[in-house]
């Protein structure tokens, strides 16, 4: 752990040239209904972005469950829990996963009842500031539903990707989540991804239906970033605890995620980031 933390510190030293600093884009990945594929999407989308040359940090923002660790067959010693409890610094808790992917693990199941105080959120923010210039993308894989923490991560992010499946229950829960977040903060920018789609038509139809509802009833634009095939390789990769993109790099679901990542990087400028400072500004605004 010490060596890893030291290596990361060195990395920062080399990269803190103010002029050519990266402007980190913060993305929250969330859903109304649980179990729709947020963690698998967060992990594999991150790997896909990294393969396209981006520097990515994935944060398992589900303090109660260690989703990302489990999907990679890893077991991190430290998690977000140790950071907010002031026991470890950001450098201590960043782990390096397969393909060199940087990530911060979620807590263990025992910590399910822990809720973050404002002071702990501030502590998280102060530590995140140290990542200035390090990453192109910081991606939060949130727990399902709207806890106080999830709402804070969402409203502080530059963009929120809502994951749904084509099932009506998943769609109505996604709609309810968007409505609820919008009532807390109407400036949140949402995108939708349809996971477990039978074919292209179903993926596109699902995205269009939900977007027309958010437009009509909430006046919210909901651009789609694409759809991911329902594919039994996903479950196989979860059981093997090897990320889909590594175990079955050319299966239908992997190809859809790679395509989404490629197109995502071509999105217009207006959807780019406000950087670490913008993220912190919004995060701290919420905890006042
Ligand atoms: N594209 C897909 N095709 C087939 N099965 C999938 C697909 N995506 C996800 N799954 C299945 O759904 C399960 C749940 O996925 P995942 O853990 O990513 O969901 P989640 O939304 O993060 O869940 P939670 O709300 O509990 O955090 C996977 O273990 C896998 O079996
Ligand atoms: Mg999950």
pLDDT reading at 81 higher than 70: yes
Specify the CATH number for the domain of residue 42: 3.40.50.300
Probe ligand 1: pick from 28, 35, 206, max atoms within 8 Å of CB? Answer: 35
| Residue 182, in any domain of the structure | yes
- Alpha-carbon distance of 38 to 284, in angstroms, equals 26
pLDDT reading at 202 higher than 80: yes
Beta strands in the chain (DSSP E): 25-30, 56-60, 94-96, 102-104, 137-141, 159-164, 190-197, 224-229
| Residue 44, in any domain of the structure | yes
Q: Is the CB of 198 inside a 6 Å radius of any atom of ligand 1?
A: no
Given pLDDT bands bounded at 50, 70 and 90, which one contains residue 120? confident
C-alpha dihedral over 241, 247, 253, 258, to 10 degrees? 110
Q: Is the CB of 173 inside a 6 Å radius of any atom of ligand 1?
A: no
Report helix, strand or coil for 118. Answer: helix
Structural domain containing residue 129: 22-287
Beta strands in 68-219 (DSSP E): 94-96, 102-104, 137-141, 159-164, 190-197
Q: pLDDT tens across 3-56, in order?
A: 544 554 454 445 444 455 678 999 999 999 999 999 999 999 999 999 999 999
pLDDT of residue 80: 82
Q: pLDDT tens across 85-95, in order?
A: 889 999 999 99
| Residue 82, in any domain of the structure | yes
Give, in order, the Cα–Cα distances in Å from 115 to each of 29, 84, 112, 149, 169. 19, 11, 8, 8, 27
Q: Is the CB of 61 inside a 6 Å radius of any atom of ligand 1?
A: no
| Residue 136, in any domain of the structure | yes
Q: Identify the CA nearest to 169 among candidates 152, 151, 188, 144.
A: 144
Query: What total number of domains does the chain contain?
Result: 1
Q: Which ligand is nearest to the CA of 170?
A: 1
| Residue 6, in any domain of the structure | no
Which structure tokens are listed for 248?
């079955």
| Residue 138, in any domain of the structure | yes
């Amino acid at each position: 752990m010490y060596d890893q933390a030291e290596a990361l510190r060195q990395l920062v030293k080399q990269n803190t040239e103010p002029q050519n600093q990266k402007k980190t884009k913060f993305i929250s990945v969330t859903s109304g209904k649980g179990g729709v594929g947020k963690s698998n999407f967060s992990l594999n989308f991150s790997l896909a972005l990294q393969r396209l040359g981006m520097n990515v940090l994935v944060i398992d923002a589900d303090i109660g469950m260690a989703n990302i660790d489990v999907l990679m067959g890893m077991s991190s010693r430290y998690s977000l829990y140790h950071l907010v409890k002031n026991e470890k610094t950001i450098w201590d808790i960043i782990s390096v996963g397969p393909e060199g992917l940087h990530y911060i693990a979620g807590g263990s199941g025992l910590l399910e009842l822990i809720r973050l105080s404002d002071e702990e959120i501030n502590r998280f923010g102060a530590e995140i500031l140290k990542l200035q210039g390090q990453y192109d993308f910081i991606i939060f894989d949130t727990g399902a539903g709207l806890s106080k923490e999830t709402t804070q991560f969402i409203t502080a992010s530059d963009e929120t990707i809502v994951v749904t499946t084509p099932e009506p229950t998943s769609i109505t829960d996604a709609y309810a989540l968007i409505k609820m977040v919008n009532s807390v903060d109407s400036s949140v920018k949402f995108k939708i991804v349809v996971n477990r789609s039978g074919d292209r038509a179903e993926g596109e139809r699902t995205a269009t239906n939900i977007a027309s509802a958010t437009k009509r009833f909430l006046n919210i634009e909901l651009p789609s970033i694409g759809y991911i095939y329902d594919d039994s390789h996903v479950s196989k990769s979860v059981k093997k605890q090897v990320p889909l993109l590594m175990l079955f790099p050319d299966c239908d679901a992997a190809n859809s995620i790679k395509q989404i990542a490629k197109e995502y990087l071509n999105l217009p400028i207006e959807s780019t980031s406000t950087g670490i400072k913008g993220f912190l500004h919004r995060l701290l605004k919420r905890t006042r």
